[in-house]
């Protein structure tokens, strides 16, 4: 079964940092681009970042560019995002999501259950 499992969420103070992980199983991880998508409480979905299967190409939403860094370890089938300079606007459930087809896909066919990040003093 194809699965994604996020971890690392929690409460962090404004200006602080947090790192999230997404463990993948059930598919050849290195063949697929993986994405982070977030959802603020009671709001819609917002794409955050994407990394290619090899890890050579990364993309960011303007709202997180320069503060978030996406990375992956294909030997561990794990995706990461390092989040710095956090503000209340970053409070959200963070989902990792798998690209629909091998190579490049901006369609998300498998989603994790999400991990909550709360930025508050």
Q: Is 33 in the site for other proteins (CB under 8 A)?
A: no
| Residue 35 in contact with other proteins, rule: CB under 8 A | yes
Q: Read off φ and ψ for residue 114, nearest 5 degrees.
A: 95, 155
Burial of 49 per CB tally in 10 Å (0-12, 13-18, 19+): buried
Euclidean distance between CA atoms 77 and 22, whole angstroms: 8
113 binds other proteins (CB under 8 A): yes
Stretch touching other proteins by CB under 8 A, among 8-16, 19-27, 83-91, 100-108? 100-108
- Is residue 47 close enough to count as binding other proteins by CB under 8 A? yes
**Alpha carbons 69 and 31: distance in angstroms, whole number:** 20
Sheet of 68-73: strand order equals 3-7, 18-25, 78-83, 68-73
Q: Which of 21, 30, 46, 52 binds other proteins (CB under 8 A)?
A: 46
Site string for other proteins, 49-88 (x = CB under 8 A): -x--------x-xx--------------------------
Q: Does 111 bind other proteins (CB under 8 A)?
A: yes
Rounded Cα gap, residues 4 and 46, in angstroms: 18
User: In this complex, which beta carbon is closest to other proteins, that of residue 48 or of residue 83?
Assistant: 48
Enumerate binding residues for other proteins (CB under 8 A).
35, 37, 44-47, 50, 59, 61-62, 95, 100, 105-114
């Amino acid at each position: 079964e194809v699965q994604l499992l996020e971890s690392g969420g929690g409460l962090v103070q404004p200006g602080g940092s947090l790192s999230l992980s997404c463990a993948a199983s059930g598919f050849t991880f290195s063949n697929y681009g993986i994405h982070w998508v977030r959802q603020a409480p009671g709001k819609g979905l917002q794409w955050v970042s994407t990394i290619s299967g090899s890890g050579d190409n990364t993309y960011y939403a303007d709202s997180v560019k320069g503060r978030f860094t996406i990375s992956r370890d294909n030997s561990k089938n794990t995706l990461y995002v390092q989040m710095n300079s956090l503000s209340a606007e970053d409070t959200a459930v963070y989902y990792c999501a798998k690209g629909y087809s091998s190579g490049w896909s901006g369609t998300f066919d498998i989603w994790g259950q999400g991990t909550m990040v709360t930025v508050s003093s």
